[in-house]
Chains A and B, each alone.
Chain A
Amino acid sequence: MSFLLRRLSFYFTAFLIAISFNFMLPRMMPGDPIDALFAAAQGKMDPAQMDAVREMYGFVDGNVFEQYLSYMQSVFTLDLGPSVLMFPIDVTTVVGMSLPWTMFLALGSLIVALILGVTIGTYSSYRREGFFGQFVPPFLAFISNFPYIVTALLLFYFFGLQLELLPLAYTYDPAIDPGFTLEFIGSVAKHAVLPMGSMILVGIATWVFNMRNAMINVLGEDYVTMAEAKGLSSYRVMYRYAGRNAILPVATAIAMAIGFSFAGSIMTEVVFNYQGLGNILLKGIMARDYPLIQAILLILVSAVLTANFVADLLYVWLDPRISK
């Protein structure tokens, strides 16, 4: 349990650092951020609302420390001010609407890539001398290291525009009412194929190579030879003996991959016009909607930290020794 507590306090500290960073951002910017905001709002905000935004940013009378506390308070009460882009709606609502889609895209693709990658990695290391083991890993290394944006663009062009197989925008068909119906779920799945596919393509090589390297080390162990000598089926040796032990070092890489996956989701959403955080972020940047941009960063950091904690739980489950 002390392991999880330690991790929890680490994530909390990291979150505090993220808040501090967010607090410093408008102060680092050239010029007065409130003026810039006022210019961006183009007269949509009245002075009372401007004061509210000022307070949210922590631009209150007092020294820096008091300002910092004031900002901290507005973060923890989720009072992040109104969005300039979609004026009367406040930032928290805008972000709340698009966060689930980004989570779906980032975590969904991560999980699929992880399962596929670990399977391919296991098989390609066990059959290293065959065609599969010789050809597939280098091929995946090549394909997987295209930048996120490029893979997304290529899939977008060939499967979306040229072959017209799959939809090119939105998270679901706007003509369908959202709800727990087969039609809606089908539409969501259809719209997710290309963005998720491109993210899986980019993410998969990490797992193939991590798993392959770990497997190759494990395959030299005596208990694997023993298992083979006993005449166990190669499937059993591969997954129950070697794979089960090789997966531990692979699981440690999940923590880093989560951040990458969210970053990739931001890029992919822009290409596929997927209605997640990335899309909102781009619109926010173009409209100079600073409260929105900051809120997105904050929510992304919290999502990544939470996902990391879940990965820690998974790790404890995989290797009970570390919680002792």
Chain B
Amino acid sequence: MNNSITSDANAPVPGHKSEFKKKCHSAWIKTKAFFHGNPPAIIGVSLITVILLGALFAPVLSTHNPEKRVARPHEAPSAEHVLGSTRNGRDVYSQVLHGARKSLTVALFAGIIAMTIAIAVGVTSGYLGGKIDEWMNFITNVFLVFPQLPLLIVLAAFLGQVGSTVITVLLGVTSWPWGARVIRSQTMAIRNKEFIISAEVMGESKIRIILVEILPNLISIVFGGFLGTVIYAMGAEAGLGILGLGDATEVSWGSMLYWAQVSSSLYTGAWWEMLVPAIALALTGGALALINMSIDQVSNPKLKTGPHMKLWKKMNRETMKRRGLL
């Protein structure tokens, strides 16, 4: 299983080639085990791969310049414009590819910022305890109880139309509390385990204990929280966009929704202008959620669903039959 929870301090350093090969092989086995009999993981990862490739190769794959007028307003999908054109004569297909870059960058970096703060706050307060924990926990709870999105909307409204960098930072610094809370409680759960105590007895510094002993045990939680934040940040970016609070001159899924809303494309029958970015957002969010769910199952195998549950059911029935209970 793709389980990075165990940090084996005694593992031999992969010195020569056969050792390296062995490691590769076991990584391959783990990857196979992660996907085996887990359709959600397969669907999620393949969808996300397609989306990421689309974003990465946007300049190659797009047929037109996304920021130039290349068609008549609201042209229906055709061979020339695969997904139609917007009210302003932009090519929707090229825009959605380029928009993916901006939207995903905002979401990824917001996720990174949020999880960095969350780890810093969560691990410190969970490990150190005492007065520091009390204060940090209080701040976390205050942030947690505030409705973040309205807060963000008001901030953006007061700052005027803001660029994607500002939105990224705002999203990052407002969406860490949930992660911090989960990380804190997990840290508290492992704080008194033998390996931490032995490290303390050996006289390791607090920083080293946090970085080397505690953090590797939190990887699945951190990654889960990261994916959750990315989903949230992507939705928030789109939401701010459609409210007209983002920079409407940048091409992102949020600004595409904004222009589609302004031109009331749904009412005039030009569904493609609105639904294409909407569906792109939906697929990305859904795919990330499926991956998140599969990771949960890896870190807690009890949660698994899949063919092995059917096997268990079959064996259970056979046992019951043998005992004459069925």
Chain B residues whose C-beta falls within 8 Å of the C-beta of A300 in the assembled complex:
147, 150
A133 and chain B: residue at smallest CB distance:
B305
Q: How far is the CA of A30 from the CA of B161 in the complex (A)?
A: 12
Interface contact B234-A147, CB-CB below 8 Å: yes
Chain A residues with a Cβ closer than 8 Å to the other chain, count: 66
Chain B residues whose C-beta falls within 8 Å of the C-beta of A250 in the assembled complex:
none
* Distance (whole angstroms) from the CB of B269 to the closest CB of chain A: 9
Q: How far is the CA of A171 from the CA of B274 in the complex (A)?
A: 24
Interface contact B154-A282, CB-CB below 8 Å: no
Interface contact A147-B147, CB-CB below 8 Å: no
* Distance (whole angstroms) from the CB of B231 to the closest CB of chain A: 5
Interface contact B242-A146, CB-CB below 8 Å: no
A26 and chain B: residue at smallest CB distance:
B158
Q: Is the interface of B mostly helix, strand, loop or mixed?
A: helix
Interface contact A304-B239, CB-CB below 8 Å: no
Q: How far is the CA of A137 from the CA of B257 in the complex (A)?
A: 29
Chain B residues whose C-beta falls within 8 Å of the C-beta of A285 in the assembled complex:
153, 157, 243-245
Q: Given A17-B142, A263-B148, is A29 in contact with B290 using a C-beta cutoff of 8 Å? A: no
**A18 lies within 8 A of chain B by Cβ:** yes
Q: How far is the CA of A84 from the CA of B287 in the complex (A)?
A: 44
> Which B positions have Cβ atoms within 8 angstroms of A?
39-40, 138, 141-142, 144-151, 153-155, 157-160, 178, 231, 234-236, 238-239, 242-245, 257, 266-267, 271, 274-275, 278-279, 281-282, 285-290, 292-293, 296, 300, 302-303, 305-306, 309-310, 312-313
> Which A positions have Cβ atoms within 8 angstroms of B?
10-11, 13-14, 17-18, 21, 25-26, 28-30, 128-129, 133-134, 137-138, 141-151, 153-154, 156-157, 161, 205, 209, 212-213, 216-217, 220, 255-256, 259-260, 262-264, 266-267, 270, 281-282, 284-286, 290, 293-294, 296-297, 300-301, 304-305, 308
27 contacts between A and B (CB under 8 A): A14-B141, A30-B160, A128-B305, A129-B309, A133-B305, A138-B39, A138-B290, A145-B286, A146-B282, A147-B285, A149-B239, A153-B266, A153-B274, A154-B275, A157-B275, A209-B296, A212-B303, A213-B296, A267-B149, A267-B239, A293-B157, A293-B158, A301-B146, A301-B147, A304-B145, A304-B146, A308-B145
Q: List 8 other contacts, CB 8 Å, given A259-B147, A263-B148.
A: A138-B305, A141-B292, A145-B231, A146-B285, A147-B238, A157-B266, A285-B244, A296-B150
What 8 A-B pairs are tightest by C-beta distance, nearest first?
Answer: A147-B235, A263-B149, A145-B289, A142-B286, A129-B313, A138-B40, A129-B309, A259-B147
